[in-house]
Amino acid sequence: MNLRSRGGFTLLELLYVLLISILLFHTLARIADVIGAVDGATRTGSDAGTLETTVERVLRRALESAGTGLPAAPNLSGVGVRTAAGPDGEPADTLIVLQGDGAAIPVASRPCPGSPAGCVALVGDQRARLREGDLILVGTRTTGLSALQIIGRPAVFYAPCAGDCPERLVCPVTPGPAPSFRRIVGSVRQPGGTTAAGPCPQAFFPDGSRCEEIEQPASGGPRQEPSCRAQGPSSAFTELRVADRTAMLGFPAPPVALWQGGAGALPRVRAVRVRASRFWVRREPGRDSVLVRQNSMTLTGEWQTPVAVAAPVLGLKVETLHGGGWVAGTGGADLRPGAGNPNYVWTATPAASGREPAWSFRRGHHTISAVRVRYAYRAASAGHALPLERQASLVVSTGPLLKGGTGDAD
């Protein structure tokens, strides 16, 4: 009997086919693993590159504009840092960036009506330029700056110019009172009572008589007369109710806070509207930490809802470059006027205006020449079950902060 005449495969043939199938499947699996590893590595590098690109683009753009249109004082300029550490020991610095928004406005030499606390008077009607909630810097480069938030609607009041506008002689001509006088209508000779028209020819006569003139009151027509004074009419001033946000933004108090100036021995004081940005890392349990940005504040001084920039970013570490090298944060320079402060310098010649104090400080927010931001983040890595921690940094030159900034504050 011929067994091969039956249909189907023998057991040996089936085993041979199964072996070939196993070898083929194993080869395809190896190829798939290689492709997956290459794709994972590419994706990991791409994700990490995208995060670094996003963080650097946002921070660099903000820092390159820091201080533009603003004065730079020892206690406050376009860059501020609040240095801290998170609960896990990671750096948790907060970066504050300020940028000018419009031309400087003169601060009046007079107080607000009634001299209330927390009020600044500006020269002119500034209601079209300022509104409730705006942040302004007030002060000078030498005495220091205060960051003030407008917490009420700007209001206008009128008062004499005083020292806030040039004096001029104003002489309006107005109708004056009509002049009055006495007119001689005749004369009488005494004794005897003889009258005559016109004035007396002489007071006494040889016979011992005398002459008296007869007068009647008379008045002339109206006359014009000038009324001169050394000031013009009343001028407009803008009253701002403000709250001090200097410390809340992370800046030290100014050596001398000037919210009024331009009269007597005080220097000229200016107000500059600013835009503020706050960068920090928000941590929430069970979620990736996120680098966020906030651009506005409520009237109570709280920052508005944060906007995510990139994730997962573990923390920021901010350093600034001064003449002596890199320091953490902004360096915490001593800004107390006094001979015992090594950071304090007294110059023999006062400022050209004659009103500026003759002091300066060797280091402060006005000497920041560059900012370095270091940050850590987590990114997936091929061959590792958990994301790996990576480090990145960027350095930005802050030239506008040097030499008093670029604003015309004083």
- Residues 297/245, Cβ–Cβ less than 8 Å: yes
Length of the chain equals 410
Looking at the DSSP assignment, which residues form a beta bridge with residue 373? Answer: 318, 394
Residue 121 has, within 13 A of its CA and on its CB side, a CA count of 23
Residues 235, 241: Cα–Cα separation, whole Å: 20
Looking at the DSSP assignment, which residues form a beta bridge with residue 217? Answer: 182
What Rg value do the Cα atoms of the chain yield, rounded?
43
pLDDT in tens, 207-260: 667 787 787 877 766 666 666 665 555 788 999 999 999 998 989 999 888 898
3-state helix, strand, coil in the chain (%, to 5): 15, 35, 45
**Residues in Cβ contact with 51 at an 8 Å cutoff, skipping those fewer than 6 apart:** 310, 311, 313, 377, 379
- Answer yes or no: pTM beyond 0.85: no
Single-letter amino acid code for the residue at 308: A
Residues 203, 277: Cα–Cα separation, whole Å: 97
Residues 357, 344: Cα–Cα separation, whole Å: 12
Rounded to the nearest 5°, which phi and psi values hold at 221?
-80, 170
Looking at the DSSP assignment, which residues form a beta bridge with residue 130? Answer: none
- Residues 227/50, Cβ–Cβ less than 8 Å: no
CB atoms under 10 Å from CB of 358, counted, come to 12
Residues 404, 365: Cα–Cα separation, whole Å: 10
Residues 270, 357: Cα–Cα separation, whole Å: 16
Q: What is the pLDDT along the chain (410 residues), one digit of tens a residue?
A: 454 455 566 777 667 777 777 777 777 767 656 555 544 443 444 456 788 888 889 999 999 888 888 888 999 999 999 887 666 666 689 999 999 988 899 999 888 988 788 999 999 899 999 999 999 999 988 889 999 999 999 999 988 877 777 656 566 666 666 677 667 788 888 777 888 888 888 766 666 677 877 878 777 666 666 666 655 557 889 999 999 999 989 899 998 888 987 765 567 889 999 999 999 998 877 778 899 999 989 999 889 889 998 888 888 899 999 887 898 888 888 888 777 888 888 776 555 455 667 778 888 998 898 999 999 888 765 555 456 788 888 899 887 676 555 555 44
> What are the extents of the domains in the chain?
49-168+230-404, 173-226
Q: Is the peptide bond before 312 cis (omega within 30 degrees of 0)?
A: yes
User: Which is nearest to 320 in space by CA: 63, 73, 53?
Assistant: 63
